[in-house]
């Protein structure tokens, strides 16, 4: 089984060999820190595994905001999707895994474990699941959803902005944070490494944001992200979200560009989202909505607005995906 | 200090009442037009507004050959909607109302029309803000022969801010330092939305002008000594709560011992602003709007926030008169003061503006043309 098919889970020290039965019928086929197990790939030492361990991973959540959210205040979100995307750009041959632990001493809900799965899987990565009896069913259901939609991993980012950076050296932190902030601004962008910044790879991009060795590390990433978006102009947004709040988005296209996928990850996992409206610059003909625990997708009314469309979504707790057809 | 005698007390009260009555009697009272309009169809809007302007005596004498500045209402962030209801149908003035107004002003001979707003937390062009809300700003630029936008939340296209003084010294500040656009105009128009307001009770043509203050001076992130180069945050700490002063380049508050309560401060600042920057034409979009407050962010606190369609346009050449009629249409008593709806927790902007001589809030003195108030009435607290 190639590494790209591994769905990782951390073996708990308290488990015995018989606990392997927990994994039957689940997507988890790769266990970290376990003894040899029949039918399950085991990895003793993550450092030697042919995967890219994404550094600095954090438990996804809405961070407390002492100022509160007023007429415009966007909540601060701890997320990892942007880091998964960077890892994939740096090393496309290796799957990107997040290795952070579940925070101790918190009253965590099952939805938050599902969020941890979605936060990585929506971008084609994996969180190395830390099993927890409080949330086993929710965790398995989330992982199973993404296994059932593995074909979505072949899609590429819809983009009009290219971020060109090497994510190394003194510019690494700056470039990483700019990508994080662009994600929070719902900008549809793609990441291109400096050595891959060819005419072919930048074709179709209206703006190119280069964060290279000449960019002073002291520059404010918020200003860089804002200015990039301004330079691109809101007129060229491929995607807009209304009432997004604590939601991040990832908009991708099928290899033949005939299908689209908009994934929405709600970092306030324990409560339903507000009523979200999605605006897309492309006039997709139809849209279907997937939610994590739904047996099937439901149709979403497509409303034509000038050259694009708008979709009014129902509230959802953790994750929603909209399949678009031209 | 000796106690006042009963005679002195009665004489003082009588004098105060007399002063108030004189203020009301002196305060201008003119004509306000109400039109039934249940659609944002541009043709219908053109017809309705044109008729209203005729009822007000025509706008050609007002704007011909002039530079007209129009303050519109794009409060909050463009990425917010009231549920699924787009901003222009709930808490923003609708672009078709703005466009129809621009078209009619242009047709009446306005030389230049400048659309103004101080959008939240940004010095970016106003066009970008509108695009983010899915508006097409070119429609507004093309509604007249010489139309411009300016973001007035910062210095903008000028080299310095313009200081506009408040007649009679003002309630809160003697003068306000504003973007040049509010001085560099011959005619000032306020196009507002018909709404309640969580802090000030109602937000109509006068409260719309709260947003003419740049947050580079009067905002949470304003510079201490000089204006900040770009705006950050809202006006909560300077104006609502009075926790900090505006930039020292601007005039300080008149009375630092005055209450630090938003219900006291905001209405007074609004009354000051419309006195310093008089409104020549007030238009209120009540075709579709929301109840409960001024924007979707209020919906978290106020359960009765919802989209409604009163189906009215209101216009007048005096903002106090116009807001008076608007309040009556909303089912409120324009003579209400603090403690009575909609001013349960605040002072009345209308009363404070009347005290500055800006206009009368006495509905009996205002001539209402077009649709009668009783037929246009749409109670917001039903």
SS3 A192: strand
More confident residue, A213 or B59: B59
Q: With left for phi above 0 and alpha for psi between -120 and 50, is residue A97 left, alpha or beta?
A: beta
Lowest mean pLDDT, pick from B18-22, B59-63, B72-76, B82-86:
B18-22
Angle in degrees, 0-180, between the axes of helices A221-232 and A172-184, rounded to the nearest 10: 50
Residue of A nearest to B75 (CA): A71
Give the pLDDT of residue B1. 45
Query: What pLDDT digit, counting tens, does each position of B227-249 carry?
Result: 999 999 999 999 999 999 999 99
pLDDT at residue B7 in the model: 56
Q: Taking the alpha carbons of B95, B206, B129, B178 in that order, is the dihedral positive or negative? A: positive
Q: Is A244 on the interface with B (CB under 8 A)?
A: yes
Distance from CA of A134 to the nearest CA of B (A): 30
Q: Is the dihedral of CA B217, B222, B225, B229 positive or negative?
A: negative
Strands B187-193 and B281-286: parallel
Burial readout B179-215 (b: 16 or more C-beta within 10 A, e: otherwise): bbbbbebebbbbbbbbbbbbbbbbbbbbbbbbbbbbb
Say if the Cβ atoms of A71 and B77 lie within 8 Å: yes
> Can you spell out the DSSP letters for B28-51?
---EEEEEE-----HHHHHHHHHH
Query: What is the spatial distance between Cα B119 and Cα B81, in angstroms, rounded to a whole number?
Result: 16
Q: Is A243 on the interface with B (CB under 8 A)?
A: yes
Query: Going edge to edge, which strands form the sheet with B67-71?
Result: B147-151, B112-117, B67-71, B187-193, B281-286, B312-316, B31-36, B367-370
Quick one: how far is CA B285 from the chain centroid? 12
- Provide the pairing of β-strand B281-286 with A298-300: unpaired
Nearest CA in chain B to A308: B134
Strand partners, B227: none
Instruction: For residue range B17-56, list pLDDT tens digits in order.
Output: 555 544 566 789 999 999 999 999 999 999 999 999 999 9
Which residues from A are below 8 Å from B295, CB to CB?
71
With CA atoms as reference, report the closest residue to A175 among A211, A207, A227.
A211
Model confidence band, residue B5 (pLDDT cutoffs 50, 70, 90):
low
Dihedral of CA B225/B226/B228/B231: which sign? positive
pLDDT at residue B272 is higher than 50: yes
The model's pLDDT over B162-220, given as tens digits with 9 standing for 90+, comes to 999 999 899 999 999 999 999 999 999 999 999 999 999 999 999 999 999 999 999 99
Angle B137-B139-B141 (CA atoms, 0-180°, nearest 5)?
70
**Using one digit for the tens of pLDDT, what is the confidence trace for B284-313?**
999 999 999 999 999 988 889 999 999 999
Query: Any idea which of A74-78, B137-141, B337-341, B349-353 has the lowest mean pLDDT?
Result: A74-78
Residues 6+ apart with CB under 8 A from B140: B95, B98, B99, B102, B115, B130, B147, B149
Contact B84 A312 (CB under 8 A): yes
Residue A169 corresponds to which tokens in the numbers above?
């050296």
- Is the CB of A222 inside 8 Å of chain B's CB atoms? no
Residues of A in contact with B77 (CB under 8 A): 71-72
Is B131 in contact with A70 (Cβ distance < 8 A)? no
What is the per-residue pLDDT for A70? 45
pLDDT at res. B382: 86
**Residue B342: is the preceding peptide bond cis (ω within 30°)?**
yes
Mean pLDDT score of chain B: 94
Residue B3's pLDDT is 53
> In the prediction, which pLDDT does A65 show?
64
* Rounded-to-integer distance, Cα A125 and Cα A88, Å: 9
Q: Which residues pair with B112 in a beta bridge?
A: B67
Which residue in A has a C-alpha nearest to residue B74's C-alpha?
Answer: A71
Inter-chain contact B236–A240, Cβ cutoff 8 Å? no
**Model-level ipTM above the cut of 0.95:** no
* The pair of three-digit structure tokens given for residue A255, joined into one six-digit string: 């290899």
Q: Do A230 and B136 touch (CB under 8 A)?
A: no
Between CA B284 and CA B173 the distance in angstroms is 27
pTM for the full predicted model? 0.93
Q: Which pLDDT belongs to residue B8?
A: 55
Mark yes or no for CB contact A275/B121 under 8 Å: no
Instruction: Note whether B42 and B97 are within 8 A (CB).
Output: no
pLDDT at B9 (0 to 100): 53
Cα first-last separation, chain A: 34
- CB contacts < 8 A, A to B, total 55
Question: What span, in angstroms and rounded, lies between the C-alpha atoms of B90 and A145?
Answer: 38
- Residues in chain A closer than 8 A to B126 (CB atoms): none
Note down pLDDT in tens along chain A; length 326 residues.
899 999 999 999 999 989 999 999 999 999 999 888 888 899 999 989 999 999 889 999 998 765 554 444 678 899 999 999 999 999 999 999 999 999 986 789 999 999 999 999 999 999 999 999 989 999 999 999 999 999 999 999 999 999 999 998 888 999 999 999 999 999 999 999 999 999 999 999 999 999 986 677 678 999 999 999 999 999 999 999 999 999 999 999 999 999 999 999 999 987 778 899 999 999 999 999 999 988 899 999 999 998 999 999 999 989 999 999 99
Model confidence at B134: pLDDT above 80: yes
Tell whether A227 lies on the interface with B, counting CB pairs under 8 A: no
């Amino acid at each position: 089984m190639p590494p790209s098919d591994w769905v990782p889970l951390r073996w708990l020290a308290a488990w015995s060999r018989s606990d392997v039965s927990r994994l039957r019928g689940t997507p988890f086929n790769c266990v970290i820190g376990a003894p040899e197990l029949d039918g399950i790939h085991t990895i003793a030492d993550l450092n030697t595994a042919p995967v890219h361990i994404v550094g600095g991973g954090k438990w996804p959540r809405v961070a407390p905001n002492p100022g509160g959210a007023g007429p415009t205040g966007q909540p601060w979100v701890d997320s990892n999707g942007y880091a998964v995307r960077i890892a994939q750009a740096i090393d496309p041959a290796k799957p990107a895994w997040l290795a952070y632990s579940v925070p101790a001493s918190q009253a965590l809900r099952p939805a938050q474990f599902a969020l941890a799965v979605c936060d990585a899987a929506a971008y084609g990565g994996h969180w190395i699941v830390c099993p927890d009896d409080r949330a086993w069913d929710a965790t398995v259901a989330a992982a199973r959803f993404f296994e059932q939609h593995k074909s979505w991993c072949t899609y590429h980012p819809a983009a009009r902005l290219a971020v060109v950076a090497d994510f190394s050296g003194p510019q690494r932190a700056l470039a990483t944070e700019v990508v994080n902030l662009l994600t929070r601004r719902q900008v549809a962008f793609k990441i291109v490494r400096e050595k891959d910044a060819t005419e072919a790879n930048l074709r179709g991009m209206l703006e190119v944001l280069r964060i290279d060795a000449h960019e002073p590390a002291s520059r404010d990433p918020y200003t860089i992200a804002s200015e990039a978006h301004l330079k691109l102009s809101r007129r060229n947004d491929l995607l807009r979200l209304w009432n997004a709040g604590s939601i991040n988005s990832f908009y991708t296209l099928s290899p033949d560009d005939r299908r689209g996928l908009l994934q929405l990850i709600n970092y306030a996992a324990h409560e339903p989202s507000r009523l979200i409206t999605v605006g897309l610059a492309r006039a997709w003909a139809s849209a279907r909505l997937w939610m994590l625990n739904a047996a099937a997708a439901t149709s979403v009314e497509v409303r034509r607005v000038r050259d694009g469309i708008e979709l009014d979504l129902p509230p959802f707790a953790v994750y929603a995906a909209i399949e678009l057809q031209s | 200090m000796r106690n006042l005698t009963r005679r002195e007390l009665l004489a003082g009260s009588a004098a105060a009442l007399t002063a108030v009555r004189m203020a009301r009697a002196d305060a201008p009272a003119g004509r306000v037009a109400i039109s039934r309009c249940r659609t944002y169809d541009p043709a219908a809007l053109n017809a309705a507004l044109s008729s209203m302007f005729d009822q007000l005596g025509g706008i050609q004498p007002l704007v011909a050959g002039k530079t007209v500045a129009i303050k519109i209402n794009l409060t909050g962030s463009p990425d917010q909607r009231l549920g699924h209801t787009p901003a222009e149908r709930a808490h923003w003035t609708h672009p078709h109302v703005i466009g129809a107004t621009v078209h009619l002003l242009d047709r009446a001979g306005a030389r230049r029309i400048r659309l103004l707003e101080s959008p939240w937390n940004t010095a970016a062009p106003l066009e970008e803000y509108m695009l983010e809300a899915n508006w097409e700003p070119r429609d507004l630029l093309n509604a007249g022969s010489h139309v411009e936008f300016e973001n007035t939340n910062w210095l903008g296209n000028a080299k310095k801010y313009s200081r506009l003084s408040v007649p009679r010294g003002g309630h809160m500040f003697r003068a306000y330092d504003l973007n040049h656009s509010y001085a560099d105009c011959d005619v000032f128009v306020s196009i507002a939305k018909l709404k309640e307001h969580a802090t000030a009770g109602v937000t109509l043509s006068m409260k719309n002008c709260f947003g003419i203050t740049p947050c580079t001076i009067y905002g949470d992130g304003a510079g201490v000594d000089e204006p900040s180069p770009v705006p950050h945050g809202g006006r909560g700490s300077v104006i609502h709560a009075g926790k900090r002063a505006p930039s020292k380049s601007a005039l300080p508050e008149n009375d630092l011992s005055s209450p630090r309560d938003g219900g006291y401060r905001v209405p007074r600042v609004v009354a000051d602003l419309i006195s310093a920057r008089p409104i020549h034409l007030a238009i209120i979009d009540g075709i579709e709007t929301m109840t409960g407050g001024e924007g979707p962010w209020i919906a978290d606190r106020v359960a009765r926030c919802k989209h409604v369609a009163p189906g009215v346009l209101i216009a007048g050449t005096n903002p106090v008169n116009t807001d008076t009629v608007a309040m009556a249409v909303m089912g409120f008593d324009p003579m209400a003061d603090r403690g009575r709806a909609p001013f349960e927790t605040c002072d009345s902007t209308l009363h404070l503006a009347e005290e500055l001589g800006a206009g009368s809030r006495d509905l009996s003195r205002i001539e209402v043309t077009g649709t009668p108030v009783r037929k246009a009435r749409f109670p917001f607290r039903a």
